[in-house]
Amino acid sequence: MIEFKNISKVYKGGKKAVDNINLTFNDGEFIVFIGTSGSGKTTSMRMINRMIEPTSGQILIDGEDIMEKDPVQLRRKIGYVIQQIGLMPHMTIYDNIVMVPKLLKWSEEEQRESAERLLAKVDMPKEFLARYPGELSGGQQQRIGVIRALAADQDIILMDEPFGALDPITRDALQELVKELQKEMGKTFIFVTHDMDEALKLADRIVIMQNGRVVQFDTPDNILAEPANQFVEDFIGEDRLIMARPNIQTVDQVMIKNPVSVTPGKTLSEAIRLMRDKRVDSLFVTDDSGVLKGYVDIEIINRNRKHATSVGDIMKEEVSFVREGTFLRDTVQKILKRGFKNIPVVDDKNRLIGLVTRTSLVDIVYDTIWGEEEEKGEKVSALETTSPEEIND
């Protein structure tokens, strides 16, 4: 458990970055700090490992005041992921991952086991341990940054806007990864972001800050249902508030089940024939077990039909998806904000089970925005044709 008790941070010149905040985070929670620039969110998080020290108040971890602990020893017990990743370019991936376990004097066998186990969790082969950061893509480096923070099995992981510089597809994939790892490993994650969509997707509870103060601290659902004030409403945005209102909550309730798909070994002619028969212009690609591997569309096939024979030769492997049970509000942001025509839904084993389309979202938005107005209109019409005596009755 992490407790902030009357915590303030005042810099030279009297600037108050954090103003008397009181918060309690439970073990195993995913907490997200969010706010405008200069709101105190990053300062609040960095006080947990004493990268910044509070001016007044107490921060307790499991009932112990962090100011009574050696700051170096404290930091070794708290994982930390920064936006710039922070991998050492002259060190191998293995040496980067086991930096803290080495400092904690783990045995070589324990270090190797931890590195290989965590690498497997992010779907990277153990051969990568011998490579250097410069040989990896940006997304792969970010994965290494995440598992490095978990390598010493710390109970608390701090993440300071770790995905801000990544492209949308890589960012989505890493958000899914971090949420899954947090649930699986039962760690307490403290995450700073300026992106409300990211906060709503990841958090168990969100700390919304303004001018160094906490203006609302609650679950995503409660914040969307009852914003504390106008600042919170404006910060959330009307589009998210609208999508929070329907009775439909998850993608499972609106997805088209068993979408059209093709296996990598099918010929381009077979893929075209399937598109024509099903009246679609794209196909998801799955293996024989139904695991989502990528997609092809008519443009990709047309560009490659002279020098490719099978779907697997030309399919695009980077495909954005959502998992079953995902809140609809997260899916809406992906489709509407990024211009996707549709988005596949997969189960916990990455098997394709459904598809959410823009058309299904249009129906929901229509019912949300205009359904209530139509219902009110019907009530008004009924009142206009009803006598005062009947109303009183």
Is a pLDDT exceeding 90 seen at residue 83? Answer: no
At 189, the pLDDT band (50, 70, 90 cuts) reads very high
What is each CA distance from 231 to 157, 228, 250, in whole angstroms?
29, 8, 27
Show Cβ contacts of residue 270 under 8 Å, excluding neighbours closer than 6 positions: 262
Most confidently predicted of 60-64, 73-77, 230-234: 60-64
Average pLDDT over residues 89-99: 86
* Of 70, 32, 35, residue with least CA distance to 213: 35
Q: Count CA atoms closer than 13 A to 170's CA, side-chain side.
A: 13
At 393, the pLDDT band (50, 70, 90 cuts) reads very low
Confidence (pLDDT) at 112: 87
pLDDT digits (tens, 9 = 90+) for 304-347: 877 888 888 888 887 888 888 877 766 766 666 666 778 888 98
Q: What percent of the chain has pLDDT over 90?
A: 19
At 84, the pLDDT band (50, 70, 90 cuts) reads low
Residues 131, 99, 149, 104, CA torsion sign = positive
Tokens of 347: 């189960």
Q: How many CB atoms lie within 10 A of CB 46?
A: 18
At 2, the pLDDT band (50, 70, 90 cuts) reads very high
Alpha-carbon distance of 240 to 233, in angstroms, equals 10
What CATH number matches the domain at 2-243, 3.40.50.300, 3.30.365.10, 3.20.20.10, 3.30.360.10?
3.40.50.300
Alpha-carbon distance of 9 to 25, in angstroms, equals 19
Classified as helix, coil or strand, 227 is: coil
At 175, the pLDDT band (50, 70, 90 cuts) reads confident
pLDDT digits (tens, 9 = 90+) for 111-157: 888 888 888 877 788 888 888 888 887 778 878 887 887 777 788 88
Q: Quick check: 358 and 342 in contact, CB under 8 A?
A: yes
Alpha-carbon distance of 56 to 45, in angstroms, equals 15
CATH of domain 251-367: 3.10.580.10
At 391, the pLDDT band (50, 70, 90 cuts) reads very low
**What are the start and end residues of each CATH 3.10.580.10 domain in the chain?**
251-367
Show Cβ contacts of residue 371 under 8 Å, excluding neighbours closer than 6 positions: none
At 380, the pLDDT band (50, 70, 90 cuts) reads very low
pLDDT digits (tens, 9 = 90+) for 194-212: 888 888 888 999 999 999 9
For residue 302, the Cα-to-chain-centroid distance in whole angstroms is: 35
**What are the start and end residues of each CATH 3.40.50.300 domain in the chain?**
2-243
Q: Are strands 188-193 and 30-35 parallel, antiparallel or unpaired?
A: parallel
pLDDT digits (tens, 9 = 90+) for 248-273: 577 777 788 888 899 999 888 888 88
